[in-house]
Amino acid sequence: MVQPIVMRGAVLKPNSSTPRTPPVFNGEGFYIWVVKMRTYLQAFDLWEVINSDVEPAPLRASLTISQVRHHVDERTKRYKAMSCIQNCVSDEQRRASRMDEHQEGVFQAKAKATVSTSAYKGKKNWRSRPKLDATGRGGQLYAVCQHCKKKGHVERVCKEKGKPGQNQAQHKNVKAQVAEDSSDHKEQVFTVSCLTGQSKGPKGWLLDSGCTNHMSPNATIFKTLDRSCKAKVKIGNGQFIKAKGKGDVLICTSTGDKVITNVLLVPEIDRNLLSIAQLLEKGYSVVFKGHECQIADPNRSSLITVTMTDKCFKVNWSSDSYLACVASAEESKLWHQRLSDANFRSMARMVSKEMVENFTKSVQNEDVCEVCQMGKQSRLPFPVNTTWRASNKLELVYTDVCGPMKTESLNGSRYFILFIDDSTRYSWIFFLKHKSEVAQVFLKFKVVAEIETGCKLKTIRSDNGAEYTSAQFQALCSDAGIKHQLIGPI
């Protein structure tokens, strides 16, 4: 007796000429699998359901039994076809492409031409860091961003950070750069070549003519890394993998340290890839001769000569040097914070004179400390010579009202009024429950101050607040012969 084929929820009765085992797509030989899959579905009379991809018409009233059965059969065929599709794709491929039931139907309907994969859309979120410059007057501090060199914000909140083409102005020693993104909103697609088993490992860089962007799987070699930059990378078999950041890598050459900017962080690849196309775009010279490749900078100064090994060109930079440099910079920053933001010159002197045990071996001062910018600024001095200053007591008195305060005092006051003598800098403070009490308190102050100093109040200077411009206050000044000067708010 012939047993039916059970396929994870779909039971198909095979004919004598149909294959018992369905073809399973495991990521390789897609077009061969498409042919096998079409034949397999045709054998069970399911290909037309996949090819048409049309939903059965809804049931209407007054149908015959045969029409109801036909409708049920059509819907059953769709579920059988979907079950075949789901079980003919391996779980690994399903997870990689993130196909849901609707996507799988569309995937198989379009499978005659090409494979459909889920698109990863790059998202651009820019963050930044701030820097300050003590150039403000009257104590106002202006921030100077160390990324875009503009005032008014710091690098941590800089909107320019992460945008294409912005990193090039930061590094004056840049000798190798990659192409900028074509658009902030478009997906970025890069192609990298497949790697052989003989070239696995994180060390070294492979010269790749099929790679459109410099890439590395190792996050530790990055001097700076922006993880908000996302992109997708197309590899040789047509699939896409994620790039989880972009940054700069410090390398050591015979002519000194160089910086490769805009290197993609792609953890799923197994080698560092150096794009020949990007080198050529930036004016570098790449010459293959025999079993050697010579790379020269735009000034035609030779950078390195690479010898072919295992049919590939592997560039061995001095990795220990740049990793040590990055580690030293991070360690210097950490010790700077531990020593309560000590200046780097003092730290370098501590290293040279061996004043501290188990201290950092070298001091790298590359970044400006934000805390130091905020806390070590000095306010510009006020002018020493003014147009006029009072020489006698009560010749000029400044006054202003402060409040309302969130918390009342013990007697219920939320305001206070301050009087400062310009000559002696002596101050009087009175508490107020309401601003309307200013006129009464002013009379009290006048009596107290004149008795204490033995001088007459001549001039009072205040802002244009309503409590000082009221008719009652103006009348008090006029009756006492006091000159009232009004100034704008500071």
pLDDT band at 195 (very low <50, low <70, confident <90, very high): very low
In a domain, 92, yes or no: yes
Task: Examine the domain organization and report whether 157 and 233 are in the same domain.
Answer: no
Structure tokens at 102: 């609707």
In a domain, 256, yes or no: yes
Lowest-pLDDT range, 42-51, 108-117, 313-322, 421-430? Answer: 108-117
**Boundaries of domain holding 15:** 5-109
Which candidate, 221, 218, 194, places its Cα nearest to that of 208?
A: 194
pLDDT at 393 over 80: yes
Distance CA 204, CA 443 (A): 84
Structure tokens at 299: 């000034």
pTM of structure: 0.30
pLDDT at 325: 46
pLDDT at 120: 37
> Considering Cα of 197, then 199, then 202, then 207, what sign does the dihedral take?
negative
In a domain, 247, yes or no: yes
Q: What is the pLDDT of residues 1-17, one digit of tens each?
A: 444 444 444 445 544 44
pLDDT band at 38 (very low <50, low <70, confident <90, very high): confident
Task: Examine the domain organization and report whether 327 and 311 are in the same domain.
Answer: no
pLDDT band at 300 (very low <50, low <70, confident <90, very high): confident
Task: Examine the domain organization and report whether 183 and 306 are in the same domain.
Answer: yes
If DSSP codes are grouped into helix, strand and coil, which group holds residue 296? strand
pLDDT band at 320 (very low <50, low <70, confident <90, very high): very low
Task: Examine the domain organization and report whether 326 and 304 are in the same domain.
Answer: no
CA angle, corner 483, sides to 482 and 486, nearest 5?
Answer: 130
If DSSP codes are grouped into helix, strand and coil, which group holds residue 401? strand
pLDDT band at 489 (very low <50, low <70, confident <90, very high): low
pLDDT at 191: 42
pLDDT at 201 over 60: no
Give DSSP secondary structure letters for 127-172.
-B---EE---STT--EEB-TTT--BSS-TBT-SSTTSTTSGGGT-T
Q: How far is CA 14 from CA 4, 40, 79, in A?
A: 6, 10, 17
Task: Examine the domain organization and report whether 41 and 10 are in the same domain.
Answer: yes
Consecutive H or E run containing 72: helix 65-87
Average pLDDT over residues 429-439: 92
pLDDT at 305 over 70: yes
pLDDT band at 248 (very low <50, low <70, confident <90, very high): confident
Distance CA 336, CA 333 (A): 5
298: CATH: 2.40.70.10
pLDDT at 212 over 90: no
If DSSP codes are grouped into helix, strand and coil, which group holds residue 278? helix
Q: Output DSSP code: residue 89.
A: B
Task: Examine the domain organization and report whether 356 and 312 are in the same domain.
Answer: no
Q: For residues 128 and 460, which has the higher predicted lDDT (pLDDT)?
A: 460
Assess contact for 274 and 206: CB atoms under 8 A.
yes
Which candidate, 129, 156, 134, 128, places its Cα nearest to that of 375?
A: 134
What per-residue string of b and e applies to 367-394 under the rule 16 or more CB within 10 Å gives b? eebbeebeeeeeeeeeeeeeeeeeeebb
Q: For residues 176 and 461, which has the higher predicted lDDT (pLDDT)?
A: 461
In a domain, 338, yes or no: yes
Distance CA 268, CA 90 (A): 20
Per the listing, tokens 């805009």 go with 262
Give DSSP secondary structure letters for 161-185.
TTSTTSGGGT-TTEEE--PPPS-SS
Task: Examine the domain organization and report whether 405 and 456 are in the same domain.
Answer: yes
Which candidate, 275, 270, 262, places its Cα nearest to that of 218?
A: 270
Task: Examine the domain organization and report whether 312 and 325 are in the same domain.
Answer: no
pLDDT at 165 over 80: no
In a domain, 383, yes or no: no
pLDDT at 150 over 70: yes
Bridge partners of 232, per DSSP, are 189, 242
Beta strands 312-315 and 427-432 are unpaired
pLDDT at 285 over 70: yes
Cα 225 → chain centroid? 9
pLDDT at 170: 44
Which candidate, 124, 120, 121, 123, places its Cα nearest to that of 98?
A: 120
446: CATH: 3.30.420.10
**CA neighbours within 13 Å on the CB side: how many for 13?**
2
pLDDT band at 131 (very low <50, low <70, confident <90, very high): very low
CA angle, corner 359, sides to 353 and 363, nearest 5?
Answer: 75
Distance CA 146, CA 187 (A): 29
Q: What is the pLDDT of residues 327-363, one digit of tens each?
A: 455 677 788 888 888 888 888 888 888 888 777 766 7
Strands (DSSP E) contained in 151-310 are 174-176, 189-191, 205-208, 215-216, 222-226, 231-234, 240-243, 246-253, 256-265, 272-275, 285-289, 292-296, 302-309
End-to-end CA distance of the chain: 100
pLDDT at 48: 76
pLDDT band at 258 (very low <50, low <70, confident <90, very high): confident
pLDDT at 80: 82
Select, from the ranges 44-53, 134-143, 245-254, the one with the highest average predicted confidence (pLDDT).
Answer: 245-254
Task: Examine the domain organization and report whether 310 and 335 are in the same domain.
Answer: no
Helices (H), 339-470: 344-352, 370-375, 438-453, 466-469
Query: How many folded domains does the chain comprise?
Result: 5
If DSSP codes are grouped into helix, strand and coil, which group holds residue 319? helix
User: Which amino acid belongs to residue 21?
Assistant: T
User: Which amino acid belongs to residue 160?
Assistant: E
CB atoms within 10 A of CB 82: 20
pLDDT band at 103 (very low <50, low <70, confident <90, very high): very low
Task: Examine the domain organization and report whether 180 and 304 are in the same domain.
Answer: yes
Average pLDDT over residues 190-204: 47
In a domain, 135, yes or no: yes
Task: Examine the domain organization and report whether 297 and 180 are in the same domain.
Answer: yes
Rg (CA), the chain: 39
In a domain, 166, yes or no: no
In a domain, 387, yes or no: no
Cα 152 → chain centroid? 19
pLDDT at 20: 60
Lowest-pLDDT range, 143-147, 258-262, 479-483? Answer: 143-147
Is cis: bond before 404, omega within 30 of 0?
A: yes
pLDDT at 87: 79
Which candidate, 340, 325, 426, places its Cα nearest to that of 376?
A: 340
pLDDT at 440 over 60: yes
Task: Examine the domain organization and report whether 178 and 292 are in the same domain.
Answer: yes
Structure tokens at 58: 């809804």
